[in-house]
């Protein structure tokens, strides 16, 4: 589902969101020189109406930082893209599992569909980012034999957190490829779900937190305290 935005970027824009620019939007990138093949690939991508991905923002006023990953044919080059706020046309949540499953082998798709159903049952939200999402957005090849699947799981309650952590662990054990990604808390702070799983029984342990504007180490219990304790209705 897309949310059309007019004017300024809303505070609701978060890492991994899909950001659509106006086709003629100006941009800069420190990763390529204007006119070279990588710069032209970015220009063609934007002109073609494909989205970029929201990156961590500095928190200061000014241009926005977005990301673009090019396909295998272009060495999976990752580009940092800077644009003015006026360049934004739409923002949408990361791709759904349902949209991405057709790019996967049937068995892996079945595992992810079950995971998505568990998220729906407790009102958590799952999205896909990384190479699988880029493949779906572009129709080109990004993944190779060692590629993993990256998911972002948004939770608001402690019950959702525990249900989805267990569901992610089950799914990881059933997939032939590695399942990575993050659990994101209501304040926008996110932690790799595998790190959370390793320290769930020791909430005083510090975990690497990827926030909207910075990366830091915080005790897991601080993040858990931000969750509501409402029951999960399955």
Measured distance CA(81)–CA(208) in Å, rounded: 25
Active-site residues, by number, are 148, 150
Where residue 2 falls among pLDDT bands split at 50, 70, 90?
Answer: low
Are 71 and 143 contacting, i.e. CB atoms less than 8 angstroms apart? no
Measured distance CA(228)–CA(232) in Å, rounded: 11
Res 234 pLDDT > 70: no
Q: Please write the tens of the pLDDT for every residue from 173-211.
A: 999 999 999 999 999 999 999 999 999 999 999 999 999
What average pLDDT does range 74-83 have in this prediction? 93
Q: Please write the tens of the pLDDT for every residue from 53-69.
A: 999 987 666 789 999 99
Statement: the pTM of the whole predicted model exceeds 0.95: no
Measured distance CA(234)–CA(172) in Å, rounded: 21
């Amino acid at each position: 589902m897309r949310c059309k935005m007019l004017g300024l970027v809303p505070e609701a824009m978060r890492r991994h969101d899909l950001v659509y620019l106006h086709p003629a939007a100006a941009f800069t990138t420190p990763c390529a020189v204007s006119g070279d093949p990588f710069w032209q690939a970015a220009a063609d991508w934007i002109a073609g109406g494909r989205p970029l991905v929201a990156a961590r923002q500095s928190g200061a006023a000014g241009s926005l930082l977005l990301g673009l990953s090019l396909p295998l044919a272009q060495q999976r080059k990752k580009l940092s893209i800077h644009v003015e706020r006026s360049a934004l046309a739409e923002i949408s949540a990361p791709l759904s599992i349902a949209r991405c499953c057709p790019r996967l082998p049937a068995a892996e798709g079945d595992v992810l569909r079950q995971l998505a159903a568990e998220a729906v049952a407790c009102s958590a939200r799952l999205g896909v980012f990384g190479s699988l999402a880029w493949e779906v957005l572009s129709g080109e090849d990004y993944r190779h034999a060692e590629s993993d699947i990256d998911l972002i799981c948004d939770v608001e309650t402690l019950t959702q957190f525990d249900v989805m952590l267990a569901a992610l662990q089950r799914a990881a054990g059933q997939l032939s490829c590695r399942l990575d990604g993050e659990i994101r808390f209501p304040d926008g702070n996110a932690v790799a779900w595998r790190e959370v799983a390793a320290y769930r029984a020791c909430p005083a342990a510090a975990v690497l937190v990827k926030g909207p504007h910075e990366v830091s180490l915080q005790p897991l219990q601080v993040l858990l305290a931000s969750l509501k304790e409402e029951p999960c209705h399955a």
